[in-house]
Structure 1
Amino acid sequence: MYKTFLRPLLFQLDPEKVHHLSFKAIKIISSIGLSPLIRSYFSVDDPRLAKEVFGIKFKNPVGLAAGFDKNAQLYNELSDFGFGFVEIGTITPKAQKGNPKKRLFRLKKDKAIINRMGFNNLGVEQAVKNLRKEHRIIIGGNIGKNKITPNAEALNDYIECFQALYDLVDYFVVNVSSPNTPGLRELQDKKPLTALLTALKEENGRLSLVKSEKQKPILLKIAPDLTDDQLLDIIEIIGSTQIDGVIATNTTLSREGLYAEKKLKEENGGLSGKPLEKRSTEVIRFLAEKSNKAFPIIVVGGIHSGEDALSKLEAGADLIQLWTGFVYEGPHLIKEINKTILQKMET
């Protein structure tokens, strides 16, 4: 129904407007008591899908990537579609509008999206308010810096978000890899990244002592455009800072091999979707092999089918995240992936 009826209709509209319409529709479905029906259709409840990663038990390995529920407004409702976890954000200390519109583009021939949203969000204070209701799902907090904050002061922004969200999320993701905030990817360089992660790790230890609880897992989200040498640096940094894992990968600046018309390909921003399938697999396989699987890997990028997801797990991923695949294939994709994993277990 989604791909034959809803998607063609929705794809006639502006992508950002569709995003807001989808939010409203999901809210309405929940408010009129249809959540149990949605759960019964989309959820796959099987204990064999459960997986413990960085000390957290996930009911299944399929999560929603950051960028969809930026302000933590819809995480419980999204859990009804069968996700095992939802990542909110990217959250910045202060609210910001992001980049000027139009900033979201569909490349239908490629099953891809280009975005240059620019960390548009309502700020950490609003996210905290939204997260205070009961959680029905594991929640990750993806944190970043405000556009107006110079890189020399970026640590303050990450620490502020980390402290504010500490009691309200299950794990953290440090986003230094978005291409849509000027200069942000410079924080992926070895020296500033080591300093940033070391400081967050120290704050994690301090807060866990104050609250007498275990430290929150910290993951690093990396770009697909890193070279092998840079990926080796990432492995070394994770080892030296003792953070808990990696999310691979964010959007790419590459436009190689696209079928879309020239005007679309030339839009600025990060590319996500099917064209990232090969590169995201290459990155996770490289990280897994070169580190001797020393840390968990969450994969995102180019997952549009159960077989796509299975190939990522076989390459070394521990968990899976969807975003563009969710947009193109619809919520049935979550169920398809979980069923494909179960079928693989039975062969």
Structure 2
Amino acid sequence: MLYDLARPLLFSLDAETAHELAIASLNLAGRALPTCSTDASDPVEVMGLRFPNRVGLAAGLDKNGEAIDGLARLGFGFIEIGTVTPRPQPGNPRPRLFRLPEVKGIINRMGFNNHGVDAMVANIRAAKFKGVLGVNIGKNLTTPLENAFDDYRLCLEKVYPLASYVTINVSSPNTKNLRQLQGGSELDDLLGRLKAEQQRLADQHGRYVPLTLKIAPDLDAAQIIEIADALRRHRIDGVIATNTTVSREKVQGLRYAEQQGGLSGAPVFEASTAVVAQLAQALAGELPIIAAGGITDGRCARAKLEVGAALVQLYSGLIYRGPGLIGECIRATTEAPAT
């Protein structure tokens, strides 16, 4: 109800300004209010981690880990922060974030704007949150694609002691050529080297931190099978499906539809869910799927589990529905069929 009152004010602001206000407010709430426990009425174990519930926050909302404690108060079963890069970078020029309210959609071309991995590490250390925390890592814009591993390795090394799991983001459409890392020899090389680095860090720190791969919805059946094979071959611990889409099929004719960037929210639900279903068939339960993309109500969250996901993540739906969406999705995914 409070969000229903605040939304007109937030929507009267530029989309990125409203986002910055929301992060600042959550940061303040996290500092000023006492911590509260997450509802653990339906815990589930995935990737060797215990999740109080199946509903998490997707990467992108809190890129720097500035509002972890405030976000933790909203009831998420897990929180994923990032995408973070080794060095700070401003991202693409503004405006770079656009609402499509007619279809509950968002277009962004942020470009991995973040304060760098050292700033994120400081924020995580300062947070009181003790739940499941994922960290989403990427490469700097100026790093050549052939040197991408160096950026992922550096980020993995720095966040490893503090993360519950780490996500390898190779699917953002807003960093030039990044999606090339999703296929063929590029993906095989990257996953193989990062898996070796994971084992080295596990030995060094005496704890195993799972690795997940985040993929795009704009993949054909052959590409999905190829990715599934690579995930199994390199013993990656999980996969997040999906990131934003470059397709505009569902938003043709709408204001901002021709803006460059990734489209998220309700328009990506069908494509994203289809990728989850195809991945589930290809993987045959060998590793878990975390489903993100177009979840705007409890029915959507449930649908992701029914086609094979173990967990779900929210982001764009929160912009239109507010924190009430979290509880609705938790209720809808409680006592879900095993996947």
Normalised TM-score (structure 2): 0.95
**SS of residue in 1 equivalent to 2:334:** helix
Question: Which of 234, 243, 247 is residue 250 of structure 1 equivalent to?
Answer: 243
- Which residue is equivalent to 1:167? 161
- Which residue is equivalent to 1:27? 27
Distance in 2 (CA, whole Å) between partners of 1:17 and 1:181 is: 22
Q: Does 1:316 align with 2:304?
A: no
Q: 1:265 to 1:93 in 2, by over 3 A?
A: same
Residues 72-221 of structure 1 correspond to what in structure 2 (within 5 A)?
A: 72-133=65-126, 134-213=128-207, 215-221=208-214
Consecutive unaligned residues of structure 2, counting only runs of 5 or more, are: none
- Which residue is equivalent to 2:327? 335
User: Given that residues 87 and 139 in structure 1 are in contact (C-alpha distance below 8 angstroms), is that contact kept between their aligned partners in structure 2?
Assistant: yes
Question: Which of 262, 271, 274 is residue 263 of structure 2 equivalent to?
Answer: 271
Distance in 2 (CA, whole Å) between partners of 1:344 and 1:217 is: 23
- In the TM superposition, residue 152 of structure 1 has moved relative to its aligned partner by 0.6
- Which residue is equivalent to 1:284? 276
- In the TM superposition, residue 46 of structure 1 has moved relative to its aligned partner by 4.2
Q: 1:212 to 1:114 in 2, by over 3 A?
A: same
Distance in 2 (CA, whole Å) between partners of 1:180 and 1:29 is: 31
- In the TM superposition, residue 75 of structure 1 has moved relative to its aligned partner by 1.1
User: Given that residues 198 and 241 in structure 1 are in contact (C-alpha distance below 8 angstroms), is that contact kept between their aligned partners in structure 2?
Assistant: yes
User: Given that residues 3 and 323 in structure 2 are in contact (C-alpha distance below 8 angstroms), is that contact kept between their aligned partners in structure 1?
Assistant: no
**SS of residue in 1 equivalent to 2:217:** coil
Normalised TM-score (structure 1): 0.93
- In the TM superposition, residue 210 of structure 1 has moved relative to its aligned partner by 2.0
- In the TM superposition, residue 33 of structure 1 has moved relative to its aligned partner by 3.0
Distance in 2 (CA, whole Å) between partners of 1:226 and 1:342 is: 30
Distance in 2 (CA, whole Å) between partners of 1:89 and 1:301 is: 17
User: Given that residues 35 and 69 in structure 2 are in contact (C-alpha distance below 8 angstroms), is that contact kept between their aligned partners in structure 1?
Assistant: no
Cα deviation 1:289-316 (Å, max 9, x = unaligned):
1221221000000101111100111110
- Which residue is equivalent to 2:298? 306
Q: 1:141 to 1:150 in 2, by over 3 A?
A: same
The residue type equivalent to 1:150 in the other structure is: P
User: Given that residues 81 and 331 in structure 1 are in contact (C-alpha distance below 8 angstroms), is that contact kept between their aligned partners in structure 2?
Assistant: yes
Distance in 1 (CA, whole Å) between partners of 2:2 and 2:249 is: 29
- Which residue is equivalent to 1:14? 14
Consecutive unaligned residues of structure 1, counting only runs of 5 or more, are: none
- In the TM superposition, residue 109 of structure 1 has moved relative to its aligned partner by 0.4
- The count of corresponding residues between Structure 1 and Structure 2 is 336
Distance in 1 (CA, whole Å) between partners of 2:213 and 2:30 is: 33
The residue type equivalent to 1:56 in the other structure is: L
Cα deviation 1:264-304 (Å, max 9, x = unaligned):
11000000000111111111111111221221000000101
- Which residue is equivalent to 1:229? 222
Cα deviation 1:38-94 (Å, max 9, x = unaligned):
x7xxx6x243x1110000000011110000110011112101000011111101000
User: Given that residues 79 and 136 in structure 1 are in contact (C-alpha distance below 8 angstroms), is that contact kept between their aligned partners in structure 2?
Assistant: no
- In the TM superposition, residue 207 of structure 1 has moved relative to its aligned partner by 1.4
**SS of residue in 2 equivalent to 1:312:** helix
Distance in 2 (CA, whole Å) between partners of 1:71 and 1:125 is: 10
- Which residue is equivalent to 1:239? 232
Q: 1:205 to 1:34 in 2, by over 3 A?
A: closer
Distance in 2 (CA, whole Å) between partners of 1:50 and 1:258 is: 37
What is the percent sequence identity of the aligned residues? 46
Q: Which runs of 4+ in 1 moved over 4 A?
A: none
Q: 1:343 to 1:227 in 2, by over 3 A?
A: closer
- In the TM superposition, residue 259 of structure 1 has moved relative to its aligned partner by 5.8
Query: Once structures 1 and 2 are overlaid, which stretch shifts more, 131-140 or 49-58?
Result: 131-140
The residue type equivalent to 1:116 in the other structure is: R
The residue type equivalent to 1:188 in the other structure is: Q
Cα deviation 1:209-261 (Å, max 9, x = unaligned):
12233x21111000000111000101110111111111000000000022652
Cα deviation 1:187-223 (Å, max 9, x = unaligned):
112101111011110011111112233x211110000
